[in-house]
């Protein structure tokens, strides 16, 4: 191999060590690796220049992921994503049930639609689900990625890798293309075994580093009152069915109904129109209450605010001793008229305030949860009336009335892409634009929804893959391994799988498939055997990147949200790699005989 190949090998080893040891963030490690490789490129004509490599940040796959964050923002902002996923995810009673509820539908959806957008759209859903159900994110985000990868193996359209390999088959006059579900003869058994592996081993091999929500470290306990909307979806549901029993750090203290009060509310109690529900608990769950369809703040002051509901958010404000409303009730102090904000909850020294919102006499040091416009923070940040003013992240009320529009946009995108009428990128761009045009999301919300760290990691990983390919490292390793394996077609097939899988773990799935395809084709011709089992093996092996976070871009997408370390992927994914290898090498020559 040339010196460039050896240099790239050294840099790759250092990158893996840095990721495994967690010296710094994965985005910094990946960008640093790419920078070192580009510096080496200054001394060689074999390696691509800076402009070529940096072009990986404009890769259609990466841009697609970025735009799909906007599509997901529209689905989340309207509550459509919750409507679509709530029946699937439900309220699991154990971690294995949660993993089953997540992985099975994800695998099915990934077989019918490209797996990357599935993960992009489910990231915020799973994160919110973990918090509400008190589940550890590290137990679910990696299964989310793996299930999407396994489902993508079952059809040609499940992953871009299968489409790339099939396109190369069609371009070659000596080979034929595959049918839509033909790869499923190997991919489906892999998916079934893979899902079973996730459910059986997840409890031991997945880390459990941090809880979804910490309800013990926040001394603020808000008292908030909500009213059941007339004609809303919660009428007739029990407390349990409405999801009001297990909100983390929040409990239903009482229900006011027809002039009476129900204390110690049973989970089987059915909700009625106009019920006034009194809750006490932490801020995060109060925000969840505000987003529930069928509940509204009990204070009528909210409906007197000038700004429309979708333009309002929640603000926390600590009352100072010089505030003119101190010593008065919220009603008598005319808080809404004075400040243009409605008080929807009050926290006082970690104790519950046993009064209706309007009857609470404010004291210095009370923390108020206000519903108002975001501009309130700028206007009152330096006011003597409040010690501290801050906006609550993610507290904008959902645009429930636009949920059907958001779901239609998503359905249209899926039909157009699956039908082959538009590319995944164009379909996502159209859907993202429609989300904004139909006011399912705002421009600010769309920008804030994009996870830039994920995009930086993916873009840098694509650039690293280009450098490894151009250096000759990949080709040198591939030829060397195949020369060692000899002329046995089974061993050659095994070698093709191992080479493709190793390249996938260190570069990208598509680059690995493109690199190994001509090598595998030449090997099949030399041995005088059919190339189809080799093509199928490349498809599966290029997708089965479970052992490193850079093995597949969905792994990169869940890396940060799951709080994972590099070694978590190796410990959990390497056995799965061997399972998929065994199934593929055994089944491929049976389905497509040599």
Domain ranges of the chain: 3-209+453-591, 222-391
Q: What are phi and psi of 229, to 5 degrees?
A: -65, 140
pLDDT at 320 over 50: yes
Amino acid 212: pLDDT: 40
pLDDT at 157 over 80: no
Tokens in use for 234?
């919660």
Share of the chain above pLDDT 70, in %: 91
d(CA 506, CA 504): 5
Tokens in use for 55?
């072009």
Mean pLDDT of 294-314: 70
Compute the half-sphere exposure of residue 533: CA atoms within 13 Å on the CB side of its CA.
25
* Selection from 24-33, 77-86, 95-104, 381-390 with the highest mean pLDDT: 95-104
**Residue 324 burial (CB count, 10 A):** 10
User: Are the beta carbons of 397 and 373 closer than 8 angstroms?
Assistant: no
Which pTM value belongs to this model?
0.69
Q: What is the pLDDT of residues 164-222, one digit of tens each?
A: 788 778 777 777 878 778 899 999 999 999 999 999 998 889 988 764 444 444 556 78
Amino acid 578: pLDDT: 96
pLDDT at 261 over 70: yes
Mean pLDDT of 43-47: 79
Tokens in use for 579?
């399972």
The overall average pLDDT reported for the chain is 82
DSSP conformational letter for 323: -
CATH code of the domain occupying 222-391: 3.30.70.1450
d(CA 354, CA 359): 10
Amino acid 478: pLDDT: 62
Q: Find the range with the poorest average confidence among 167-171, 212-216, 485-489, 527-531.
A: 212-216
Q: Print burial letters for 139-158: b (CB count within 10 Å at least 16), e (below 16).
A: bbbbbbbbbbbbbbbbbbbb
């Amino acid at each position: 191999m040339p010196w460039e190949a050896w240099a790239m090998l050294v840099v790759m080893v250092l990158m893996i060590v840095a990721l495994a040891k967690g010296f710094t963030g994965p985005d910094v490690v990946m960008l640093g690796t790419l920078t070192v490789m580009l510096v080496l490129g200054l001394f060689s004509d074999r390696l691509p220049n800076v402009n070529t490599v940096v072009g990986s940040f404009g890769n259609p796959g990466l841009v697609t992921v970025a735009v799909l964050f906007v599509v997901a923002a529209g689905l989340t902002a309207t509550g459509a994503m919750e409507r679509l996923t709530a029946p699937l995810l439900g309220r699991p009673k154990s971690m294995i049930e949660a993993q089953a509820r997540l992985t099975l539908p994800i695998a099915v959806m990934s077989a019918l639609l490209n797996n990357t957008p599935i993960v992009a759209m489910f990231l915020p859903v799973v994160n919110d689900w973990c918090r509400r159900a008190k589940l550890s994110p590290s137990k679910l985000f990696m299964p989310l990625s793996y299930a999407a990868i396994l489902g993508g193996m079952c059809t040609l359209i499940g992953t871009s890798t299968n489409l790339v390999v099939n396109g190369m088959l069609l371009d070659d006059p000596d080979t034929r293309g595959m049918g839509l579900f033909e790869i499923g003869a190997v991919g489906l058994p892999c998916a079934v075994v893979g899902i079973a592996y996730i459910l059986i081993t997840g409890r031991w091999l997945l880390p459990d580093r941090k809880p979804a929500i910490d309800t013990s470290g926040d001394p603020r306990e808000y008292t908030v009152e909500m009213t059941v909307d007339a004609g809303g979806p919660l009428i007739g549901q029990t407390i349990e069915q409405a999801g009001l029993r297990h909100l983390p750090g929040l409990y239903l203290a009482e229900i006011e109904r027809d002039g009476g009060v129900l204390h110690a509310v049973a989970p089987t109690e059915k909700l009625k129109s106009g019920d006034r529900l009194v809750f006490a608990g932490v801020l995060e769950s109060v925000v969840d209450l505000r987003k529930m369809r069928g509940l509204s703040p009990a204070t009528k002051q909210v409906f007197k605010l000038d700004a429309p509901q979708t333009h309002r958010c929640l603000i926390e404000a600590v009352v100072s001793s010089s505030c003119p409303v101190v010593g008065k009730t919220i009603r008598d102090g005319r808080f809404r008229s004075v400040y243009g904000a409605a008080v929807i909850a009050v926290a006082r020294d970690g104790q519950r305030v046993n009064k209706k919102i309007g009857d609470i006499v404010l004291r210095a040091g009370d923390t108020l949860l206000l519903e108002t416009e975001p501009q309130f923070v700028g206007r009152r940040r330096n006011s003597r009336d409040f010690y501290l003013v801050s906006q609550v992240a993610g507290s904008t009320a959902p645009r429930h009335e636009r949920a059907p529009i958001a779901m239609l946009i998503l359905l249209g995108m899926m039909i157009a892409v699956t039908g082959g009428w538009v590319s995944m990128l164009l379909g996502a761009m159209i859907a993202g634009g429609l989300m904004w045009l139909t006011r399912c999301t705002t421009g600010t919300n769309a920008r804030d929804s994009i996870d830039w760290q994920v995009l930086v990691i993916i873009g840098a990983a694509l650039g690293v893959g280009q450098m490894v390919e151009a250096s000759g490292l990949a080709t040198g390793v591939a030829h060397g391994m195949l020369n060692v394996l000899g002329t046995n077609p089974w061993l050659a097939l095994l070698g093709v799988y191992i080479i493709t899988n190793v390249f996938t773990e260190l570069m990208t799935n598509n680059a690995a498939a493109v690199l190994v395809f001509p090598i595998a084709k030449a090997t099949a011709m030399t041995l005088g055997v059919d190339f189809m089992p080799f093509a199928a093996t490349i498809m599966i092996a290029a997708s089965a990147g479970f052992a490193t976070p850079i093995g597949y871009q969905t792994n990169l997408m869940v890396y940060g949200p799951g709080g994972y370390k590099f070694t978590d992927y190796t410990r959990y994914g390497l056995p799965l790699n061997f399972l998929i290898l065994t199934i593929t090498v055994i089944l491929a020559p049976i389905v497509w005989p040599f």
